[in-house]
Amino acid sequence: MRHCGSHLHVSGRSQYVDDVPAPKGMLHAVVFGSPVAHGKLLSLDLEAAKAVEGVKAIVTYESIPGSKMIGALALDEPLFADKEVLFQGHPIALVIADSHAAATKGAKTCSAEIEELSPVTCPREAFAKGLLLQETRVFEKGDVDSIWSECETIVAGKIDLAGQEHLYLETNRARVIPQEDGQMKVYSSTQSPSAVQKHVAGVLGLPMHKVEVDVKRLGGGFGGKEDQATHWACMAAVGAALLKAPVQIVLSRPDDMRMTGKRHPYKQDFKIGLDSAGKILAYEVHHFQNSGAYMDLSGPVLERTVLHSTNAYAIPNVRIRAAACRTNLPSNTAYRGFGGPQGMFPLEVAIEQAAAKMGVSPDWIQSRNLISDGYVFQYGQEMEGCNMQRTWDEAVEHFDVKGIKARIAAFNKENLMVKKGFAMMPVCFGISFTKTFLNQGSSLVHVYTDGSVSVTTGGIEMGQGISSNMIAIASRVFGIPHAWINSNSTNTRRIANISPSAASATSDLNGNATIIACNEILSGMLKIAGEHLGCSPEALKIVNGVVQRDGAPTELTWQQLVLKTYFARVQLMAHGFYSPPDLHYDGVKGFGKPFHYYTFGTCLIETTVDCLRGTYTIDASRIVHDLGRTIIPTVDRGQIEGGLAQGLGWVTLEELSFSDSGRLTSHALSTYKAPDADFMPDVMELKLLENVDNPGGPLGSKAVGEPPFMYGTAAYFAIRRAIEAYTPLIEDEVRCPMTPERVLLSLYPNFK
Ligand code: MOS
């Protein structure tokens, strides 16, 4: 089966929020954001902007009719800045005009009197000043302090780990259309329609049933629209309510890059201790999360950082400190992996440095510490169904790691100015929202009298293929072709209280709900079929649209059976609800069973570094991945390759640059470089683990969205191995990403 939107995407006919023809009288809005990163907002001068031709109104904090505050966890964020501005681009006002050009001109004409305060952009500095969004927490297992004396090798160090721009193709946008009786219809590019519904209702002072949010598809989300699509929808809603007219906001790329949060940058301290056999005895890490101005999702992101700090390794003594440091940057937010990659990174650095000290290769240490069944994480969950070792062993064998290493060693011996490097990355990623209550999914299935089927779930199509997965699942449960099934927009009037499409869990939760709904309809239909054919429903099955009895086709088709069911007044629509059992997690204690299951995989990356120029290529990625029983192999492959690409970008090319005054200087694609097709490895091999099942996923499948992101991390270390083949790495702090500039400086440390 192909991705169900592919024919529309490749021909440019897929509709996004602003592709639907505009309703009559629709107005356009542009945000006026703070020119400085930190200051007291003394006064606003909006007169000149109001005089711009076409400008209809300017909305500020004062204009908000209902709650002036929004926020994912707590209402800690004013929709517009009121008395203070906390980051450059902090929304202060919304200029609404009859054209986008007029609104843009108006926004440029706004000015604010701001008493500047010195901004803090470094989380270590924020930590030292006590600027924290929540209490700093320590999570422990075993006894780290008493074990150091038993360690043969101990290394410690500091890390500066950068953030990452989401760079979804479609920037944030929303269209709000007033309806009769004070109701609002909202089209939003959001991963979380119920969050948009709740906060639009909140800022307008309406009950939620007066607000309808509809989401057809997103041009990418990656976490960037899990919480931060809400702001723009709320702003447009305030404008629409005030002017009683449709209002649309479409952020320009530079505005989107300056005004929205990103993957959290972290600063980290680590210490690791090993015995002479390469067993990790103790690991300590302190995460200083650069959270940005408001809480947003920083707490939960930091939680996943903590949960994944030991990644795929069994470590008896662990101490993890986690601080959410408040800085004068846009609130950093969800981004594929949700803090997991930042949790895993320092342990790989620690292993790399321990390996250097011991005179072994990092994969020698990695392979000696992989988790297996029975291992108990520091948060109390016991590992079950572990395929970590299997993916590692298959990667080593199938891709001939020995041969790769020999080939690279020979190449490096022969070449003076070009060096190759190689690294491996094992990944163990927990599947479920760590906020346990979010683990619920809903599906509404309609079978119409012509036999065609409509599926609506809480899942948001953001390119990842959830719609295709839902069609494939309904098709398999009903026993009818894909073409008879349509997957609809996500709508808060068809599905209530939708969890965000996030945490890799969307197909799991909504797919299982779809199975439940389809089975409810099917059991009624088969009962009617049994009456018609004079047999027990248990003997019947539908295959490719035809009813089979004991495995042999009957005369009865799906369409005929649907009509018979309808005339018998038996339901042809059902709502399915699913929540995975057995989850419990105490976020305060950091203890419980947060994950329904884990996904596993191992990635190998080969790189070549030009030691004169500092440029490099990623030559090969070779992955063994555990997908359980994949629903649609091409859709899953797309997720694995896309995740890899984003992970590669994070550790290599993508460099967010902020000036000391807190100004984002990489605010456009001229200054922010992301991987393109050409950057991707020429050799991309993927081997799916065979004969695996997953009782936790729909039809035995496994979640796929986030785990492959972490494979890209191997490129960081592969590049460093190549550098080390040329010259030793000298550094007081390990810095990521490894941009070509940084590679060049590492190759020639004396020329700094
Ligand atoms: Mo995703 S980073 O869980 O929105």
Q: In this predicted model, what pLDDT tens digit does every residue of 674-730 receive, in sequence order?
A: 999 999 999 999 999 999 999 999 999 999 999 999 999 999 999 999 999 999 999
The span from the CA of 457 to the CA of 193, in Å, is 12
Residue 226 beta carbon below 6 angstroms from any ligand 1 atom: yes
For residue 1, name the pLDDT band (cuts at 50, 70, 90). Answer: confident
Euclidean distance between CA atoms 7 and 14, whole angstroms: 9
- pLDDT higher than threshold 80 for residue 640: yes
Pick the atom of ligand 1 nearest to 337's CA.
Answer: 2
H helices present in 325-479, as ranges: 340-358, 362-367, 388-398, 401-414, 466-478
Contacts of 560 (CB under 8 A, 6+ apart): none
CA of 588 to the centre of ligand 1 (A): 21
Residue 339, by phi and psi: left (phi above 0), alpha (psi -120 to 50) or beta? left
Residue 59 DSSP SS3: strand
Instruction: Please indicate whether residue 296, judged by its CB atom, sits closer than 6 Å to ligand 1.
Output: no
Q: What are 382-417's pLDDT values in tens digits?
A: 999 999 999 999 999 999 999 999 999 999 999 999
Provide CB contacts within 8 A for 363, sequence distance 6+.
401, 423, 424
Place 649 in a pLDDT band, splitting at 50, 70 and 90. Answer: very high
Give the distance (Å) from ligand 1 centre to CA of residue 311: 18
The Cα–Cα gap between 189 and 207 comes to 22
Report the distance separating Cα 575 and Cα 569, nearest Å: 17
User: From ligand 1's centre to the CA of 662, what distance in Å?
Assistant: 26
Is the minimum distance from the CB of 164 to ligand 1 under 6 angstroms?
Answer: no
**Above pLDDT 70, what percent of the chain?**
100
What is d(CA 732, CA 714) in angstroms, rounded to the nearest whole number? 21
Q: Which atom of ligand 1 is nearest to the CA of 223?
A: 4
Q: Which atom of ligand 1 is nearest to the CA of 338?
A: 2
Note the pLDDT of residue 752: 58
Assess whether pLDDT exceeds 70 at residue 570: yes
Tens-digit pLDDT profile for residues 658-679: 998 999 999 999 999 999 999 9
pLDDT the model gives residue 275: 98
Q: What are phi and psi of 334, to 5 degrees?
A: -60, 140
Give the other-Cβ count within 10 Å of 43's Cβ.
9
* CA geometry: angle 500, 322, 503, nearest 5 deg: 20
- pLDDT at position 660, please? 86
211 forms bridges with which residues in the sheet? 184
Q: Is 642 in the pocket of ligand 1 (CB under 6 A)?
A: no
CA distance 500 to 506: 8
Taking the centre of ligand 1 as the mean of its atom positions, its distance from the CA of residue 190, in whole angstroms, is: 12
Query: How far is ligand 1, taken at its centre, from the CA of residue 351, in Å?
Result: 27
Spatial CA neighbour of 298 closest among 266, 264, 267:
264
Ligand 1 site, residue 223, Cβ cutoff 6 A: yes
Residue among 229, 216, 256, 252 nearest 174 (CA): 229
Average pLDDT of the residues in 565-572 = 98
The answer to whether 706 and 601 are in contact (CB under 8 A) is no
User: Counting atoms of ligand 1 from 1, which one is nearest the CA of 501?
Assistant: 4
Backbone angles phi, psi at 705, to 5 degrees: -60, -50
Report which ligand 1 atom has the smallest distance to the Cα of 301.
2
Contact in structure between 334 and 301 (CB atoms under 8 Å): yes
pLDDT value for 544 = 98
> Distance, CA 223 to ligand 1 centroid (Å)?
4
Q: Which among 187, 199, 248, 206 is positioned nearest to 227, based on CA atoms?
A: 199
| Band of residue 750 on the pLDDT scale cut at 50, 70, 90 | confident
**Residue 226 CA: which ligand 1 atom is closest?**
4
297 lines ligand 1 (CB under 6 A): no
Give the number of the atom of ligand 1 that is nearest the alpha carbon of residue 500. Answer: 4
Closest CA to 148 of 309, 284, 282: 282
Mean pLDDT for the chain? 97
pLDDT at position 95 is 98
- What's phi and psi for 683, nearest 5 deg? -105, 115
Whole-model pTM above 0.85?
yes
Q: What is the reported pLDDT for 186?
A: 98
Q: Which of 166, 263, 338 to mutate to test the pocket of ligand 1 (most atoms within 8 A of CB)?
A: 338
> Would you state the structure tokens that stand for residue 627, as one six-digit string?
């997908």
Give the other-Cβ count within 10 Å of 352's Cβ. Answer: 24
Minimum-distance ligand 1 atom for the alpha carbon of 221: 4
Rounded distance from Cα 336 to ligand 1 centre (Å): 5
The span from the CA of 651 to the CA of 646, in Å, is: 9
SS (H, E, C) 386-411: CCHHHHHHHHHHHCCHHHHHHHHHHH
Distance 485 CA to ligand 1 centre (A): 28
pLDDT in tens, 469-520: 999 999 999 999 999 999 999 999 999 999 999 999 999 999 999 999 999 9
188 forms beta bridges with 174
The mean pLDDT value for 546-571 works out to 98
Write phi, then psi, for 735 (nearest 5 degrees): -115, 135
Task: Give yes or no for a contact between 53 and 115, defined as CB atoms under 8 angstroms apart.
Answer: no
Give CA–CA dist 407/419, Å, rounded: 12
Contact 267, 159 (CB under 8 A): yes
Q: Which tokens is 226 given?
A: 């899990």
Which one-letter amino acid corresponds to residue 632? I
Q: Is 340 in the pocket of ligand 1 (CB under 6 A)?
A: no
Q: Is 227 in the pocket of ligand 1 (CB under 6 A)?
A: no
Q: How many angstroms separate the alpha carbon of residue 224 from the centre of ligand 1?
A: 8
Whole-angstrom Cα distance, residue 680 to residue 669?
18
Given a cut of 90, is residue 115 above it in pLDDT? Answer: yes
- Can you tell me which residue has the tokens 């109104």? 57
Question: 229: Cβ below 6 Å to ligand 1?
Answer: no
What phi and psi, each to the nearest 5 degrees, are found at residue 594? -75, -25
Query: Does ligand 1 come within 6 angstroms of the Cβ of 191?
Result: yes
Q: Are 597 and 431 in contact (CB under 8 A)?
A: yes
Answer yes or no: is the C-beta of 502 below 6 A from any ligand 1 atom. yes
Tokens at 534, concatenated: 């004079």
Residues 6+ positions from 187 with CB-CB distance below 8 Å? 17, 20, 174, 175, 176, 177, 213, 214, 215, 216
Probe residue for ligand 1, chosen from 164, 226, 599 as the CB with the greatest number of ligand atoms within 8 Å = 226
* Contact between residue 314 and residue 274 where contact means Cβ atoms under 8 Å apart: no
Roughly what angle, to the nearest 10 degrees, separates helices 633-651 and 713-726?
50
User: Quick one: how many helices (H) and strands (E) in the chain?
Assistant: 19, 32
* Dist CA 206 CA 212 (whole Å): 12
Tell me which residues are annotated as active site: 706
Distances (CA, A) of 109 to 31, 46, 102, 566: 11, 8, 10, 62
Determine contact, residues 596/467, Cβ cutoff 8 Å. Answer: no
CA-based angle 290:295:297, to the nearest 5? Answer: 85
Q: What pLDDT does residue 2 have?
A: 85
**For residue 652, which amino acid is it?**
T
Kindly state if the Cβ of 335 falls inside 6 Å of ligand 1.
yes
> Kindly report the CA angle at 741 between 740 and 745, in degrees rounded to 5?
115
CB 455 within 8 A of CB 486: yes
What is the bridge-based pairing of β-strands 211-215 and 184-188? parallel
Contacts of 43 (CB under 8 A, 6+ apart): 112, 113
Give yes or no for residue 451 having a pLDDT over 90. Answer: yes
What separation, in Å, do the N-terminal and C-terminal C-alpha atoms of the chain show?
Answer: 54
**Contact indicator for 301, 706 with CB cutoff of 8 Å:** no
334 lines ligand 1 (CB under 6 A): yes
Judge if the beta carbon of residue 228 lies within 6 A of ligand 1: no
Determine the distance separating the centroid of ligand 1 and the alpha carbon of 303, expressed in angstroms: 13
**C-alpha span between 436 and 594 (Å, rounded):** 7
